[in-house]
Amino acid sequence: METTVRKHLDRLAAFEPFIRGIAHRLTGDGDLQEDLAQEMRIRMWQTVMEKTDCTDSYLRQACVGRAKDYLKAGRSVDSRKRRGSAVALDDRSASTEPDRGTIETVEFVQRLRRDLVGKARDVADLLGRGRAPVQIASGFGVSRQAIGHRIAEIRERARELDFSRTPCHAAS
């Protein structure tokens, strides 16, 4: 029994540079690096005790997986660590009035939408709602290439509108 434990400890000691390297690459905070390294050591020890004949690559994979899980913990807005924490807002976000760039963008999108007709307008609306071209294609029952043509049409019309909006061409 003692020789088996010694063998496992020697095997884990060989992984120490790997553990430190991963912890260093994943975070710059010294205290967090040490916590992360300790979590990886614990996970590696558990893995070795569960599967005595596991390969080094399996141990590395378990170690990196635990590191990722450890760093993700507490990141969700709903997590226990973040409950009760206040979000600090920037002073610029306190203004309720939109800036000039936002107003111009909204006006440009409205003009573009008025100029588009038929399927091109529908595709532009769906793109504006965050749908991917593949999702739009499957929704309309057409090929991705057909949606690509509609997107090219939308881009061309947007370029024309943007070109006519520039000051040197507005008088023409």
Which value, to the nearest 10 degrees, does the dihedral of the CA atoms of residues 134, 140, 144, 147 take?
-100
In the prediction, which pLDDT does 109 show? 79
Higher pLDDT, 92 or 106: 106
User: Domains along the chain?
Assistant: 1-74 (1.10.1740), 116-164 (1.10.10)
Average pLDDT over residues 12-41: 85
Tokens coding 4: 């088996």
The whole model's pTM is what? 0.41
Average pLDDT over residues 99-105: 71
Which value, to the nearest 10 degrees, does the dihedral of the CA atoms of residues 143, 149, 155, 156 take?
-170
User: Contact 120/154 with Cβ under 8 angstroms?
Assistant: yes
**Which has the closest alpha carbon to 18: 69, 56, 51?**
56
Q: Give 85's pLDDT tier (boundaries 50, 70, 90).
A: very low
Q: Give 100's pLDDT tier (boundaries 50, 70, 90).
A: low
Average pLDDT over residues 104-132: 84
Widest distance between CA atoms in the chain? 90
What average pLDDT is seen over the chain? 77
* Helix axes of 30-50 and 56-72: crossing angle, nearest 10 degrees: 130
Average pLDDT over residues 27-47: 84
In the prediction, which pLDDT does 171 show? 47
DSSP string covering 25-88, please?
A: HH---HHHHHHHHHHHHHHHHHHHHH-TT--HHHHHHHHHHHHHHHHHTT-STTSGGGTTPPPP
pLDDT cut 70: percent of the chain above it: 77
Q: How far is it, in rounded angstroms, from Cα 41 to Cα 102? A: 51
In the prediction, which pLDDT does 52 show? 77
**Which has the closest alpha carbon to 139: 153, 123, 150, 152?**
123
